[in-house]
Amino acid sequence: MRILAGLLAALVLALPAAPSPARAAPPVWVVRDADSEMVLFGSIHVLPPGLAWSPPTLDAALKQADDLWFELPPGPVAEQEIARLAATTGVLPPGKSLFALLTPKDAELLLRAAEELGVDKATLDRLEPWLAEVAIAAASYRAAGADTDNGVEKSVEGATPSRVKRAAFETPAEQLGLFDNSPLDEQIASLNQTVRELAEDPDAYGKLVRAWMAGDTRVLDDEALEPMRKASPALFKRLVTDRNARWIGRLETRLKGKGRTVVVVGVGHLIGEGGLPSRLRALGYSVTGP
């Protein structure tokens, strides 16, 4: 799903050439009060290998941090739990068919995408729409040579000293529940949007990565958030707006203490009027950044 894959607006079969490391400047926000500093960095969870993306501000902050926050707990235990939960909650009841839930046109588009990406059609037909979207997304990333092993979270986790305390906003069950408990029509709308974008805009992921590397928050909003706002406003509210509202309480509690914190979450949670930096500005904190 786009949110699980870094709020990507689309998924592609080929990646553009990586930008020059000298020009890499993904957006970073720094939040301060009298005795706290919090660095907010927007992640793309799935990246191609060999991309020199880490900005100096983030590198320095990780070396000095007291605590590091992710959306989910880092490490293989959480990854295995996500896989287990997806396999148990994302499957349709016996006798139900994903393709039968779609219009003939949308079913044909999904079937074509599955064939192009090498996704087993019989397996796909047994999945709930949200997990089918994840399966199509994962296959498209594999075809592009990108995967979570090259994503921001694993790189940041590996580069951060072991003394730094790790924390997470959500558990695997909480995050997957956001998708699994979504109304069926919202899941179908999101799946259809991803499949159509995959066919109609093959450079969408490339545009997103280039915008992220350049720190272009306007294009990031257009590519990462606007398609979901249009395709499924209710799902956007559940997956972006409401989560940001919950996370702000945790961030403000941390800022009322003291020390240095780094927060790494999907870039879609940081951009725009409803993003975490804008919300913290509205609360009166000093926020520098885009």
Does 77 have pLDDT greater than 70? yes
Residue with tokens 């553009």, as numbered in its chain: 16
Rounded Cα gap, residues 25 and 217, in angstroms: 11
Rounded Cα gap, residues 264 and 40, in angstroms: 6
Please report whether residue 15 resides in a domain. Answer: no
pLDDT tens for each residue of 13-50: 223 333 444 457 899 999 999 999 999 999 988 888 88
Quote the radius of gyration of the chain (alpha carbons, Å). Answer: 19
**Total number of domains in the chain:** 1
Residue 138: band (very low, low, confident or very high) from pLDDT cuts 50, 70, 90 = confident
Cβ atoms 262, 55 nearer than 8 A: no
How many other C-beta atoms are found inside a 10 Å radius of the C-beta of residue 94? Answer: 6
Beta bridge partners of 266: 43
Q: Write down the pLDDT at residue 162.
A: 95
Question: Which candidate, 127, 167, 150, 170, places its Cα nearest to that of 49?
Answer: 150
Residue 1: band (very low, low, confident or very high) from pLDDT cuts 50, 70, 90 = very low
Domain boundaries, position 129: 21-288
Determine if residue 284 is left, alpha or beta; phi over 0 gives left, psi from -120 to 50 gives alpha, anything else beta. Answer: left
Beta bridge partners of 28: 41
Rounded Cα gap, residues 211 and 36, in angstroms: 30
Please report whether residue 6 resides in a domain. Answer: no
Instruction: Provide, for the chain, the percentages of residues in helix, strand and coil under a 3-state DSSP scheme, each rounded to the nearest 5.
Output: 55, 10, 30
Please report whether residue 14 resides in a domain. Answer: no
Please report whether residue 198 resides in a domain. Answer: yes
- Pair of tokens at residue 43: 């992640």
- Exposure string of 177-192, with b = 16+ CB inside 10 Å and e = fewer, is ebbbebeeebbbbbbb
- Pair of tokens at residue 266: 């999907």
Q: Write down the pLDDT at residue 141.
A: 78
In order of 34, 38, 63, 132, 214, the CA distances from 1 in angstroms are 39, 28, 32, 8, 24
Check: pTM over 0.75? Answer yes or no: yes
Please report whether residue 244 resides in a domain. Answer: yes
Q: Write down the pLDDT at residue 23.
A: 53
In order of 1, 134, 171, 172, 209, the CA distances from 243 in angstroms are 16, 20, 13, 14, 23
Please report whether residue 51 resides in a domain. Answer: yes
Please report whether residue 48 resides in a domain. Answer: yes
Please report whether residue 2 resides in a domain. Answer: no
Q: Write down the pLDDT at residue 7.
A: 35
In order of 51, 191, 254, the CA distances from 5 in angstroms are 17, 13, 27
Rounded Cα gap, residues 157 and 135, in angstroms: 25
Strands of the 36-43 sheet, one edge to the other: 165-168, 67-70, 259-266, 36-43, 28-32, 286-288
Does 248 have pLDDT greater than 70? yes
Rounded Cα gap, residues 81 and 172, in angstroms: 7
pLDDT tens for each residue of 169-209: 999 999 999 999 999 999 999 999 999 988 988 777 778 88
